[in-house]
Amino acid sequence: MSDRRYITTPIYYVNAHPHIGHIYTSTINDVYARFQRSLGRDVFYLTGTDEHGQKVETSARERGITPRELADENSAVFRSVLEMFDISNDDFIRTTDADHERQVQGFVQQLLDADMIYLGEFEGWYDEGQEEYYTETKAKDLEYKSPVSGRSLVRATEKNYYFRLSAFQEAIEAMFRDQPDFVRPEARRNEMLGRIREGLNDVPVSRTNFSWGIPVPGDESHVIYVWIDALFNYITALGLGDSDGDRRESRAHWWPADYHIVGKEILWFHSVIWPAVLMALDLPLPRCIYAHSFWISEGQKMSKSLGNFIDLDTLQRYCDSYGRDALRWYLATQGPLGATDADFSAQHFHETYTTDLVNTLGNCASRVSAMIGKYCEGACPVDSGACAGGGVDWADFTSGQVESSIAAMDQFDLAGSISAGLAIIRQVDAFINDTAPFKLAKDPDAHVLVETILYRCAEAIRIAACLLEPVMPTRMQELRAAWNLGDATSDLRSECQWGRLEPGTVIEKVALFPRIEFESSSD
Ligand code: ME8
């Protein structure tokens, strides 16, 4: 892998309000992006809003405002939410940006010129709510009902522009074969492969029944299908549709993306249609489409009518009670990154917070800083090399954890990467129990030994904190400040080298994660 990373979230529809799903995808990308930056890698993290399409036009009409006004309003909500959850995206693209619209038209023109897009007629099963056509097989599987709204699919005929997806049958199959990690996790890849083997049909890429979209170049009676418009965001944000210009010059080198992180419901568009479009344009393909599963809530699919919908207000209440970093921790360690859905429950949230953050990380840091206060006058002691027992080669152990944390994060295994940091803390706890510095402290002759033990504890915690800073930036910076560790250096490996903690550094007592009583009403 090179030293640059380009990572994206889906661009979110402005016809709905942000909820846990959006916050989740944005947060896991953020943890990855911060971690990669901490290694000194050149990261570009893109997110944004998807603003065209029939649903936006209809909702705007219902509210008596223009689609543009609706898009401006809701895009601003999505943008403000990023600050609320400490998301460090490098850009925020809107599909109504003139730069995006111009480039999309350019790409579509290129596809028309190459006869990869043609004007044709189509009849099929159409989901009006989702603005999506289904094949006969899929429609039958769905019992001719929308999987989202439950409303009947309708038989629709349209004169449309089509993308020649069928021409890419072999190329897509070959790409899945040659790049086994193109779609992750594996179970999702197999689903896609199964569907690909049923045969790829050409897909309509324009609409005529509404006008809120980017016109097809040369035929203003059609607008470009919102999905095609939206997928292009990943390259228009880098200026790939321009032959020159500042944006292209400064950003084009990030393509191809390392990870398009998406929810499982939009994987087909990303893993089949998008690569075929890129092949038709002769552009390199992304390295991996990672499709996470869904959050359900209190054991059931989230729904407003069940009262278990996790919207922004609910998330804000969790932040108010437990702190924003605790929410980030829960999302990153307990989220549905694999092929199964994850359950967000108030009880599970509370238990995770108490076990990992209060009893483990918080308790360990406060215990060690309190002992340094009591036995070493609050200054980092010296490791005299005394044989402190406990049987741990700390330099070796911590560098092993650092490497496994980095390797897991490279694979987008957030829970694995974080658990390597937490393993260091658990080792410190075990070491304190084995060596009992609080008992040794009663014996004046053992002072050098106590100092050695406490140096090792503090140094190990410092290293763990470096690994955990991407997931909990605020709390770990609080620890940095209290222990006078200075700012992060963007060279994680050297920062995590054993022995960098300077004896004499003032170590203040910290209380990072207060114990909280469980209130079931916090859901
Ligand atoms: O699909 N659990 O936008 P969207 C986890 N505009 N993640 C969830 C979730 C849940 N219950 N619900 C939603 C669109 N998500 C298109 C994308 S990209 C070129 C165009 C997350 O606003 C997940 O990442 O409906 C999902 O893919 C995304 O929100 C859908 O956002």
Paired strand residues for 19: 311
**Ligand 1 center to 196 CA (angstroms):** 22
Q: Cβ atoms within 10 A of the Cβ of 521, count?
A: 7
Amino acid at 305: S
Query: How far, in Å, CA of 250 to CA of 444, rounded?
Result: 62
Query: How far, in Å, CA of 267 to CA of 95, rounded?
Result: 20
pLDDT of residue 104: 98
In 3D space, the residue among 13, 17, 58, 7 whose CA is nearest the CA of residue 312 turns out to be: 17
**Ligand 1 center to 12 CA (angstroms):** 6
pLDDT of residue 306: 85
Q: What are phi and psi of 92, to 5 degrees?
A: -130, 110
Q: Tokens 């953050």 correspond to what residue?
A: 357
Residues sharing a CB contact under 8 Å with residue 225, sequence separation 6 or more, in sequence order: 131, 204, 205, 206, 207, 213
pLDDT of residue 386: 81
**Hey, whose CA ends up nearest to atom 18 of ligand 1?**
10
* pTM of the predicted protein model: 0.94
Atom of ligand 1 nearest to the CA of 10: 18
**Ligand 1 center to 137 CA (angstroms):** 25
Tokens representing 211? 């006008």
**Ligand 1 center to 158 CA (angstroms):** 28
Q: Where are the alpha helices (DSSP H) in 39-85?
A: 54-63, 67-84
CA of 96: how far to CAs of 64, 74, 89, 131, in Å?
Answer: 20, 13, 19, 19
Report helix, strand or coil for 344: strand
**Ligand 1 center to 301 CA (angstroms):** 15
pLDDT of residue 303: 86
Residues of the chain with confidence (pLDDT) below 70: 1, 388, 520-523
Cβ < 6 Å from ligand 1: which residues?
Answer: 10-13, 16, 21-22, 24-25, 50, 230-231, 233, 262-263, 266, 294-295, 302
Residue among 148, 294, 301 whose CB has most ligand 1 atoms within 8 A, to mutate: 294
